[in-house]
Amino acid sequence: MLKGEKLREARNLRNGLLFISPWVVGFLGFTLYPMLSALYYSFTDYSGLLRAPVFHGLANYRRMFTADKLFNTVAQNTLFLVFLGGFSIILVTLTIAILLDNKNLKGVAGFRVIFFLPTLVPSIVLCVLWIWLLNADTGLINNVLKIFGITGPGWLSSLMWAKPALVLMRVWGAGNLIIIFLGGLQDIPRDLYEAVEIDGGNFFHKVRHITIPLIRPIILFNVISTINGMMQMFTEPLTMTSRGGPMDKTYTYALYIYQNAFTYGNMGYACALSWVMLVITMALTFTALKSGGYFEERESY
């Protein structure tokens, strides 16, 4: 009996390993190995193709933090986009999701489709579309503002409005977060809202005391997803602002890594930048988890 159980356990273990082997191979070959290689190359002088890497210790990191003024610029730009974009995206998508959660709203299914459609369009196509929308003279946004007597700025050429223009585009294309919020909102028992109404509460009381507390894990998930997405913003500045213009105001961290690696041939320095980016992203993620009470909830279990 015991021998038969051991054989069955061994067979189950073998089958389990076989089923997960594609993931294991993919993780080792396409995630872990590139990460460790990038860590090694970050301590080398390496061009990528022309010559073998030459180990030179912490030189890349010293250059980054003491001699590279552009590093400070791209880091500040990216963090600005993370905080401004993150707050704007979460606020707008959560508000829209709460409004679309009303089943009595006529045509609500159609609105949900409309808000989700931009996520299906390739990023480069969205960039070309928004270049036209944000055009200072013929763009739709400035033409709409003219109706109300407002002279719109030259969005992508303005030192003040270039970064908010990128955030505006990201907000418009965040329909996937709306769907995730809606999934959480529909799990909230309607009896709780009815109890608030019986106690004389209004819409804002429902949102503050019922909606926000009960979907806090979903808010936290979307916040972390947004942080990661904004930290990796690349296509928009490359396509829309002539690689970070005007005057480097939209020069993002991911674009700087790309240009060092494939334009300037500084692969070793690009790897060092990548690892610092990973540390910054992990720090922001940890801060979000801490602020969202994630660790306290785990301890309570």
What is the pLDDT at residue 261?
94
Q: Give a yes or no: residue 7 inside a domain.
A: no
Model pTM score: 0.89
Q: What average pLDDT score do residues 234-255 get?
A: 92
Q: Give a yes or no: residue 49 inside a domain.
A: no
Q: Domain span at residue 95? A: 72-291
Q: Say how many CA atoms lie within 13 Å of 49 toward its Cβ.
A: 5
What is the pLDDT at residue 107?
78
Q: Give a yes or no: residue 52 inside a domain.
A: no
Q: Give a yes or no: residue 26 inside a domain.
A: no
Q: What average pLDDT score do residues 103-122 get?
A: 84
Round to whole Å and give the CA distance between 70 and 185.
43
Q: Give a yes or no: residue 153 inside a domain.
A: yes
Q: Give a yes or no: residue 224 inside a domain.
A: yes
Judged by average pLDDT, the poorest of 36-40, 131-135, 239-243, 293-297 is 293-297
What is the pLDDT at residue 112?
85
Q: Give a yes or no: residue 150 inside a domain.
A: yes
What is the pLDDT at residue 74?
96
* 3-state SS class at 135: coil
Q: Give a yes or no: residue 243 inside a domain.
A: yes
Number of domains in the chain: 1
Q: What's 186's domain CATH number?
A: 1.10.3720.10
Kindly state the percentage of the chain with pLDDT values over 90: 73
| Residue 22, burial from CB neighbour count under 10 angstroms (0-12, 13-18, 19+) | exposed
273-282 long-range contacts, Cβ below 8 Å, gap at least 24? 273/64, 273/71, 274/38, 274/42, 275/38, 275/39, 275/42, 276/61, 276/64, 277/231, 277/253, 280/75, 280/231, 281/227, 281/228, 281/231
pLDDT in tens, 23-77: 999 999 999 999 999 999 999 999 887 788 999 999 999 999 999 999 999 999 9
* 3-state SS class at 55: strand
